[in-house]
Chain A
Amino acid sequence: MHVMKYSIAIVLLFICSECFCSNAIPQKFVVLDEKGEKLSNIVVEISAVSANNAISSNPKKAQEVAAKPAVMEQAGKQFLPHILLIAKGQEVVFPNTDHVIHHVYSFSPAKKFQLTLKKEVTSDPIKFDDVGIVELGCNVHDWMLGYIYASNADTFGQTALDGELAFDLLPGEYTVSVWHPRLAEQDIEKRFGFTIDATSKIHEITLTHPIYPSLIGYDTVEATDAY
């Protein structure tokens, strides 16, 4: 049932984008924490309220993204990127560029799998058919933690280091949601409504809950270089 719905929506979006692409207005989104600080690397998902005005040219529309396998690299005994944002149904390849073996696994309900990756080997692509968060771990390296976020939004992206995310959107009504492992559940579940008109705007999404502490300590485990 879901697949059918999405298929129709994708078709509709495809048509619309053809029609209105020239009219897309550049918009900017920023995610602010409760203190008003801009946050980077936050997943922002945007969906049109009604199917016909959901148009985005930059970044690519989800279905465009999904056409090509995404890459979750094991490099420096870390997952790279930390958060891989993919479209639902997209394939992901896991290249191991380290000189050590990795045993990547996930017990997340969205996708359970395990891959034993010898050194400098790229796995076969794994398709992520379910929407949701897939938490990745490595059975060999406890500190390794990565996320694959499979989204079924019209378009999505992650805030840059300056905390901004640019979209070219047609005017219309949109809902926006955000995700990041450090965000509180309440903020994740929230849906923000936006009206896009002919003017470019900076849309602020303000979180109401404090973000979780950083896991940065894990990222700088000095001993990891020895592996």
Chain B
Amino acid sequence: MLTRFSSSTLCMPLKVKLLASFFLIGVALLIATAYSVSSAAKQHSMNLLIENMEISQSVVFSHINDTVNVIENAANNLTSDFNVKSLILNVESDPMSLKVALRNFSDRFETSEFALTDAHGSVTVASDNFSLPSIESIDLDANEQSVWLSMNDTYYLNIIVAVKNTPRSRSPMAYLVFSKKLSDVFNTRLAELSSFEVNAITRHDNGLSAHSTSGMDEQELLDIFKQQMAITEQIASTSIADKVYFSSIDSLDNINHRVWLMLVTPKSSAFLSIRTLFTELSALLMLATVLVGLFALYISNRISSPILSLSELTTKIGQGEDIDIPIGSTREVNKLARAMFTMNLQLNTRNKEIQTLAFEDDLTSLPNKNALIRRLDRVFDDKNSDQLALILLDIAKFTDLNEAIGYQAADNLLQQIAKRLSLHLGNNVFLARMTGNQFAIIRKEADAITDFIADIVDCIHKPFKVDKLNLGLTAKVGYAIKDRQINDSRRLTQAAEIALKAAKQGHNPSVKYESSLYLFDTRKLRLMSEISDITDNGQLSLYYQPQLNLQTKTVDSVECLARWIHPEEGFVPPDLFIGLAEQTGDIKKITRWVIKEAIQQHNQWKQLGFNLQMSANISAIDLADESFVSFITQLLLQYKMDASYLMLELTESTAMEEPENAIEALLNLSNIGVKLSIDDFGTGYSSMAQLKKMPVNELKIDKAFILELSKNTEDQNMVKTFISLAKTMDLKTVAEGVEDQKSLQLLTSFGCTHGQGYFISRPMDSRSTTKWFSSAEHNIQRLDTEFS
């Protein structure tokens, strides 16, 4: 969960990536646009500002020039008047009249002061506040009609007009000066001409002063002026108390450079139009951003959604589902989709091939073991099926058959079996071939399973025709039914296998799995690992079961039975541990221990006065042991025992498995005088011919025939047959499993020589047996009484 989470945070979805990329590019473009537009607009605005200021300067200059021109023209007209000219040029004769006339003119043209000079510039008549004594020093060139001069710390624009004798006279005879106060020049009319604040800055002997047409603070203006003078740019930018001002200056006074025109505008009003532009631009860019975002979303969707649907498609392919080609709008995606579709087709084909290889048996075309397991898994996954049985079927002795008829015929036989089974079983059950001669059936119901199995066994038992042979087959069946413990396919299979194994080992054609079978097996492993030590660590002991001579009514022989008492497991059944010992090879050790013990016991009892025949079991492995005979010979010699008192028992199946070898080994034993017995007689397939050749002295009739002998006439007939057979071969007969008196009486009447069983005595340890023999007379007596 953690890794999935982290991977999802680390790897952005394609859609998000595309979206982000498109959006970033779009926004970058917008920002670039905004930047270039705004910088261009700013530059443009600045240029516009410069241009406007230049225009405003020109306007102010031309306004001042107009003022000057008006006064000059009027003054020229004035001096052209002969009478005025007479007054001027004859000033010494009537200065008062001239002064009054000039005052009149001065008032008419809004000039404050005036003066008349002679041809050299010396003032002859002047208004009261006109403080200059001479204008001689003023070097007026032809183009200058006016000059800014300071009088009594006030600046005046002085318009100087030459007074000539005749208009064409070369040199003036006098000069007239009209002085207009700076504040009258920079009046509200001038302010109205410009969109900027129009100001005049003047330099005085004691510093600068400023005059504003619009009432701007003088100190602020001087600060702006100083800032402006400090730089070379045309437009100065000055910050005063959080406000930024743009300004430009131009000298009004080209002679003394003491008067300047200064235009000022607050930045806010200078860029008023650009602000509106920016507001509109921002709105436009925001709209564009939204559009870019939507477009990016649209594009990324268009690209990623076919990819997502292809991804879903691959998931479907992975799950083995059938797919259709999605038709998208992009050629590349379509190509990919087609490729995936083709891939899916090829995958399906290959899957089928693999499935065939993996899940089908190529000989019988039945499902194989893998298919079975898969089917089981599915059935277990299906919660609706509560009943489930797995039946394993093994064709008995198939290996032998294989050898007998050849592999090809055997394969043919297997095919026939498969065919017959599938026809017989129909589609209601699942039939599979597990291994060589093993088949499996899954049945989804557990009812009447024994009948079902019996039916199958019968079906197999009917003859098959192979190479002109008619073969009837025996099937061993192990099965398991799903229950609370067996709740998955593995356990069910294991259980059925255990049951089959039990069936193969036992006499019953079919075995149902019981939990005991399973426990048995786990115990086995433990026992096998410990079995080699039992002869040394005292866990193995010898028990003895008396055999009653039915003719003499005396106990003249005992069977020695090995008992393994495990410290934790307790009593280990001899069938189990003998089998295990045969597998591990420890059987030889155990047999030798048993025989040595038996001989020692025989010796003890002989000294006590009981001369009993000792019967001990040997296995096929012992028979194959070449030193076995000499071992016995040595023991017999050691304990000076009569060899005829030692009876070695061999099971019927052991004896008949490899009769030739068995006969040879038995002969060797027989040659040293040891008696031999065929144990469990009646369960195997004894060949009378072989039996006849064997140097045996005794037949032990299996307890399967004896246990219910008193009730079962069939058993009685069988036992009778066995006994008469033995008689003809001059063999002793020992009936095992005698558990009631009636059976004992019947056996006696049949002519059976010996009886063995709980009715006579349980197997007992050596001490109990000794005690039992000590009171044998009594026991025998009791038996007698019961006999009669």
| B170 beta carbon closer than 8 Å to chain A | yes
Docked complex: A176-227 residues within 8 A CB-CB of B: 181, 212, 215, 218
Assess whether B170 is in contact with A142, with CB atoms less than 8 Å apart.
no
Q: Which residues of A contact B82 (CB under 8 A)?
A: 103, 105, 139
Write the B163-191 contact mask toward A (1 if CB under 8 angstroms, else 0). 00111111001000000000000000000
Assess whether B80 is in contact with A137, with CB atoms less than 8 Å apart.
no
Provided the pairs A107-B86, A107-B90, A142-B80 are in contact, do residues A137 and B165 lie with their beta carbons within 8 angstroms?
A: yes
A107 to chain B, nearest CB (A): 4
Give the nearest-CB partner of A107 in chain B: B89
Write the A126-144 contact mask toward B (1 if CB under 8 angstroms, else 0). 0000000001111100111
Give the complex CA separation of A109 and B165 in angstroms.
11
Assess whether B85 is in contact with A107, with CB atoms less than 8 Å apart.
yes
Q: Which of A105, A107, A142, A181 contacts B167 (CB 8 A)?
A: A142
Assess whether A106 is in contact with B170, with CB atoms less than 8 Å apart.
no
Give the complex CA separation of A145 and B167 in angstroms.
8
Docked complex: B135-181 residues within 8 A CB-CB of A: 165-170, 173
Q: Which residues of B contact A135 (CB under 8 A)?
A: 165-166, 169
Count contacts between A and B, CB distance < 8 Å: 37
Q: Which residues of B contact A218 (CB under 8 A)?
A: 168
Assess whether A108 is in contact with B165, with CB atoms less than 8 Å apart.
yes
Assess whether A142 is in contact with B89, with CB atoms less than 8 Å apart.
no
Assess whether B170 is in contact with A137, with CB atoms less than 8 Å apart.
no
Q: Which residues of A contact B89 (CB under 8 A)?
A: 107
Give the complex CA separation of A105 and B90 in angstroms.
13
B473 to chain A, nearest CB (A): 155
Give the complex CA separation of A215 and B167 in angstroms.
12
Most buried by A among B165, B166, B167, B170: B166
Provided the pairs A106-B165, A107-B165, A142-B80 are in contact, do residues A181 and B170 lie with their beta carbons within 8 angstroms?
A: yes
Secondary structure type dominating chain A contacts: strand
Most buried by B among A107, A108, A218: A107
Give the complex CA separation of A138 and B169 in angstroms.
12
Provided the pairs A107-B86, A139-B82 are in contact, do residues A144 and B170 lie with their beta carbons within 8 angstroms?
A: no
Give the nearest-CB partner of A138 in chain B: B166
Secondary structure type dominating chain B contacts: loop
Assess whether A145 is in contact with B169, with CB atoms less than 8 Å apart.
yes
Assess whether A142 is in contact with B165, with CB atoms less than 8 Å apart.
no
B431 to chain A, nearest CB (A): 141
Q: Which residues of B contact A143 (CB under 8 A)?
A: 167-168
Q: Which residues of A contact B85 (CB under 8 A)?
A: 107
Give the nearest-CB partner of B80 in chain A: A142
Q: Which residues of B contact A136 (CB under 8 A)?
A: 166
B464 to chain A, nearest CB (A): 154
Write the B724-763 contact mask toward A (1 if CB under 8 angstroms, else 0). 0000000000000000000000000000000000000000
A74 to chain B, nearest CB (A): 14
Docked complex: B467-506 residues within 8 A CB-CB of A: none
Q: Which residues of B contact A137 (CB under 8 A)?
A: 165-169
Assess whether B166 is in contact with A144, with CB atoms less than 8 Å apart.
yes
Docked complex: B519-539 residues within 8 A CB-CB of A: none
Write the A72-113 contact mask toward B (1 if CB under 8 angstroms, else 0). 000000000000000000000000000000010111100010
Give the nearest-CB partner of B81 in chain A: A139
Give the nearest-CB partner of A139 in chain B: B82
Give the complex CA separation of A139 and B83 in angstroms.
10
A166 to chain B, nearest CB (A): 29
Q: Which residues of B contact A181 (CB under 8 A)?
A: 170
Give the complex CA separation of A135 and B165 in angstroms.
7
Q: Which of A112, A139, A142, A212 contacts B168 (CB 8 A)?
A: A142
Give the complex CA separation of A135 and B167 in angstroms.
11
B176 to chain A, nearest CB (A): 15
Give the complex CA separation of A137 and B86 in angstroms.
13
A161 to chain B, nearest CB (A): 23
Give the complex CA separation of A103 and B82 in angstroms.
10
Docked complex: B62-111 residues within 8 A CB-CB of A: 80, 82, 85-86, 89-90
Q: Which residues of A contact B170 (CB under 8 A)?
A: 181, 212
Assess whether B168 is in contact with A215, with CB atoms less than 8 Å apart.
yes
Give the complex CA separation of A144 and B168 in angstroms.
8
Give the complex CA separation of A137 and B79 in angstroms.
14
Docked complex: B431-471 residues within 8 A CB-CB of A: none
Give the complex CA separation of A215 and B169 in angstroms.
10
A131 to chain B, nearest CB (A): 18
Give the complex CA separation of A203 and B15 in angstroms.
112
Give the nearest-CB partner of A140 in chain B: B82
Give the complex CA separation of A31 and B167 in angstroms.
28
Q: Which residues of B contact A144 (CB under 8 A)?
A: 166, 168
A135 to chain B, nearest CB (A): 5
Give the complex CA separation of A145 and B170 in angstroms.
10
Most buried by B among A136, A145, A218: A145
Write the A141-152 contact mask toward B (1 if CB under 8 angstroms, else 0). 011110000000
Q: Which residues of B contact A138 (CB under 8 A)?
A: 166
Q: Which residues of A contact B90 (CB under 8 A)?
A: 107, 112
Give the complex CA separation of A142 and B166 in angstroms.
7
16 example contacts (A-B, Cβ-Cβ < 8 A) are as follows A103-B82, A107-B86, A107-B89, A107-B90, A108-B165, A112-B90, A135-B169, A137-B165, A137-B169, A138-B166, A139-B82, A142-B166, A143-B167, A145-B169, A212-B170, A215-B168
A→B interface (CB under 8 Å): 103, 105-108, 112, 135-139, 142-145, 181, 212, 215, 218
B→A interface (CB under 8 Å): 80, 82, 85-86, 89-90, 165-170, 173
Contacts A107-B165, A137-B167, A137-B169 aside, 7 further interface pairs with beta carbons under 8 A come to: A106-B165, A108-B165, A112-B90, A142-B166, A143-B167, A145-B166, A218-B168
Nearest 3 pairs of A and B residues by beta carbon: A137-B166, A107-B89, A145-B168
